[in-house]
Amino acid sequence: MRYPKLRELREAFKNIFTRAATVRYPYGKAEFHPGYRGKPEFQDECLGCTACMEVCPPGAIEIVDDVENRKRRVVRYFDRCITCGECERVCTCGNGIKMVPEFAMAVYDRKDLVESVERELIVCENCGRPIATKKHILWLMDQLEEKGAANMGFVIMSLKELGIVEEVEKKVSFDKRQDLFTILCPRCKHRVILYDSL
């Protein structure tokens, strides 16, 4: 008569006292590959420039402009997001949105999958159309350095930031040279420059 397979019994007893070879994910932290694309997350550097909204394939990013209160909200719906990474790739400043290594986003209410960031909106002093966010314009001025002085809107904005110029309500008349020194949308600025060149 043959004895039971002693080698298999020895392996079985040895495995009772050793750790499993698999990862301890539910009880421990999961390890991620450096290139893992998880949940996209807004960073403090987000300019509110709408570049991510333009390229988002499923339309998971929405821009809500509140012109009356001069606020822009960039809203991200994670329930629509396919974690493609396009938003991170085209980010204007390079680090306004990052794919963080997080994948466990199960929730009971869909409203918990909505994240937003709010920025101050700069509007045209004549027609009230949104131009850009204040943070975006300040970032552009920083990128342009001394070349930014060619744009009078940028000069006025930097003077307001320094506290040299006061915020004054004025009406753009399109027939005065001082209209060049206001923050205008491209359409109104075109009208001012066209009239000034006559």
Dihedral (Cα; 8, 9, 10, 14), 10-degree rounding: 100
Last residue of a domain, one of 123, 154, 172: 123
Q: Which residues contact 131 (CB under 8 A, 6 or more apart)?
A: 122, 123, 124, 137, 183, 184, 185
Q: Residues 21-31: pLDDT tens digits?
A: 777 666 777 77
pLDDT computed for residue 182 by the predictor: 79
pTM score, whole prediction:
0.75
Last residue of a domain, one of 68, 98, 123: 123
* Burial class of residue 37, CB neighbours in 10 A (0-12, 13-18, 19+): middle
Q: Which residues contact 87 (CB under 8 A, 6 or more apart)?
A: 40, 52, 55, 56, 61, 97
> Whole-angstrom Cα distance, residue 42 to residue 100?
10
Half-sphere exposure in the Cβ direction for 133 (13 Å, CA): 23
Q: Which residues pair with 76 in a beta bridge?
A: 61, 115
How distant, in Å, are the alpha carbons of 36, 37, 53, 106, 149 from that of 23?
A: 17, 20, 37, 21, 57
Torsion-angle region of 70 (φ positive above 0: left; ψ -120 to 50: alpha; else: beta): left
Find the helix or strand (DSSP H, E) in which 106 lies: none
> Whole-angstrom Cα distance, residue 146 to residue 137?
14
Domain check: are 189 and 139 in the same one? Answer: yes
pLDDT computed for residue 161 by the predictor: 80
Per-residue pLDDT at 177 exceeds 70: no
Domain extent for 135: 124-198
How many distinct structural domains can be found in the chain?
2
pLDDT computed for residue 92 by the predictor: 92
The domain spanning residue 112 has which CATH number?
3.30.70.3270
Predicted confidence band at 169 (pLDDT cuts at 50, 70, 90)?
low
Last residue of a domain, one of 123, 148, 171: 123
Q: Which residues pair with 130 in a beta bridge?
A: 123
The helix/strand/coil state of 94 is: coil
CB 55 within 8 A of CB 90: yes
| Residue 196 counted as domain residue | yes
